Chains A and B, each alone.
Chain A
Amino acid sequence: MTAFTDLQLDALRELANIGSGNAGTALGSMLGKTVDISVPTAAVLPLADAIAVAGRPDELRHGIVVPVVGDMEAIVLLLFPDADARTLCGIYGIEPSTPDGRSMLGEVGNILGTNYINVLGQMVSMTLEPRPPQVVEDMLGAILESVLLGRGEDVDHALILDSSLMVEGEQCSLSFLLLPNHGGVRQLLEQLGL
């Protein structure tokens, strides 16, 4: 279940690229800023390594989870370092660790997640529906392990499709992860004929 070919990973990376590009444009419209997107990475990693790739497990992150249901189940996870969450919320003059701040981060997650999922669904001809976002502020390791094990399934490896968005002029970066469940990855690849 862990083996994906380079061709399959390239296809998944391209899906992430288009999805996050679309999502970044939508966020840019909301903020009135240019949003740059880095080349996404697609990697299949043992769970413990997946956490190590995202940073030190005790680093503080603002995490926004957007569960996805429909023809495929997945989770969209946005991770902001604290300084970047402050910068983003600062555009509207609010602090991230307040009800208003959490509400704003949830809305950013909603816009990014919904646009990402919509374009992904169109590309692979699936009906995908985002659920309301959940916002937490906690240790990176705790956020990731709770999301990766959140379905109670025994998963050895996680497929991580990682994009970084940079809000121009504001030096604000965030990690954007799509975490399909295992059946979901196969479904995606089958829809692409791979």
Chain B
Amino acid sequence: METVVRMGEAMASHTPADVLACIGLGSCIGLALVDRSKGVAALAHVMLPASAVPDPPQPHKFADLAVPALIDLALAHGAQHRRLEAALVGGAAMFQLGGSGQDIGARNTAAVTRLLEQARVPVRATAIGGSNGRTVRIHVGADMTITVRQAGGREQRLLGGRADTEPKAVFA
């Protein structure tokens, strides 16, 4: 079953054949965490770098709260912290609107990356930046696969599936 993770939401699954998806990411980040040995996946749709208040209603909106919360969610579904791997998709700059939103995609990317470093979760693959929107899907299962697609394009494998251990970037 495909579950769409909308803006500010997060989902996790350890059920084989489940699909978690963030559809139409622009400046937002689709943050995927997987424990491939346990078959656990978690996905958050992160909107902004940092929360202005300590306890907002939707913590997954903000990178500073979403990263630790998503790790906890993955662990609650049976993942092991030291086996977690991350993939980042989105963070595009589609428009130049000026003001504090300038480069919001880049600031989202920087915030998520920094928090993953602090939590010692390695980033294995990215499809970030540029000016195009993207869709990310995690196909949950034994050969946990993360795919990314741009408008009018085909679904491309970003991580998993056949054995791949090297970090890589798709049209970054």
Contacts and interface: CB of A to CB of B under 8 A. Distances in A.
Contact of B95 (A73, A150, A152): A150
Contacts of B132: 138, 142
Interface residues of B, number: 41
Interface stretch (B18-26, B70-78, B112-120, B160-168): B18-26
A67 interface: yes
Nearest to B52: A154
Given A48-B7, A149-B47, A150-B104, A142 B99 contact: no
Given A47-B7, A151-B97, A152-B101, A60 B24 contact: no
Interface string A94-138: 000000000000000000000000000000000000000010111
Contacts of A144: 24, 26
A140 B24 contact: yes
A65 B96 CA distance: 10
B135 interface: yes
Contacts of B57: 156
Given A51-B7, A75-B97, A137-B151, A146 B27 contact: yes
A36 B29 CA distance: 39
Given A137-B151, A150-B104, A154-B61, A143 B26 contact: yes
B150 to A, nearest CB: 8
Given A145-B24, A145-B27, A136 B95 contact: yes
Contacts of B133: 138-139, 141-143, 146
A151 B101 contact: yes
Given A134-B95, A152-B104, A142 B52 contact: no
Nearest to B24: A141
Task: Name the 8 nearest CB pairs between A and B, nearest first.
Answer: A141-B24, A142-B133, A146-B26, A57-B24, A142-B26, A152-B101, A150-B97, A48-B6
